[in-house]
């Protein structure tokens, strides 16, 4: 079983749509959770950390369910600039991170 699994995608949505990404992780000892975005041939960039209580940053909302070992990211009112690959990332005790394979999002006019 993969350590971090994500929706395979790709997701193709119109501008203004709401889109949700899901992620599951296998190691119950995981301690930190993040969503990164990666543009084509660029480095991953932190989008947001994910907290147990859930957190929101503008149009982005992240949720964590430790019991189900499940993380989600919701993007509302999607923009063309949201087109990227979204990486679910899980950290362990010493902050070593394990990346999901990513879900590609394309927002179309």
Stretch that binds another protein, among 16-24, 41-49, 56-64, 72-80 (CB under 8 A): 41-49
**Contact stretch for another protein (CB under 8 A) within 18-26, 58-66, 73-81, 95-103:** 95-103
Alpha carbon distance 42, 13 (integer Å): 22
Residue with tokens 């940053």: 57
How many degrees, rounded to 5, is the angle at CA 37 between CA 50 and CA 93? 45
99 contributes a contact to another protein by CB under 8 A: yes
How many CB atoms are closer than 10 A to CB 68?
8
Does residue 52 belong to the site contacting another protein (CB under 8 A)?
no
**Which residue of 49, 55, 69, 106 would you call a contact of another protein, by CB under 8 A?**
49
Examine residue 95 and tell whether it contacts another protein (CB under 8 A).
yes
Among positions 11, 21, 34, 86, the unique one binding another protein when judged by CB under 8 A: 34
Q: Which two tokens stand for residue 87?
A: 């990486």
Residue 20 φ then ψ, to 5°: -125, 135
Rg, Å, the chain Cα set: 13
Contact positions vs another protein (CB under 8 A)? 31-32, 34, 38, 41-46, 49, 87, 91, 94-102
């Amino acid at each position: 079983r993969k350590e971090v699994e994500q929706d395979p995608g790709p997701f193709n949505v119109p501008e203004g749509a709401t889109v949700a990404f899901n992620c599951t992780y296998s190691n119950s000892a995981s301690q930190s959770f993040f969503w990164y975005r990666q543009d084509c041939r660029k480095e991953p960039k932190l989008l947001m950390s994910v907290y147990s209580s859930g957190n929101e940053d503008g149009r982005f909302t992240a949720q964590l369910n430790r019991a189900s070992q499940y993380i989600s990211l919701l993007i509302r009112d999607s923009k063309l600039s949201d087109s990227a690959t979204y990486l679910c990332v899980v950290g362990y005790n010493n902050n070593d991170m394990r990346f999901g394979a990513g879900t590609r999002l394309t927002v179309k006019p």
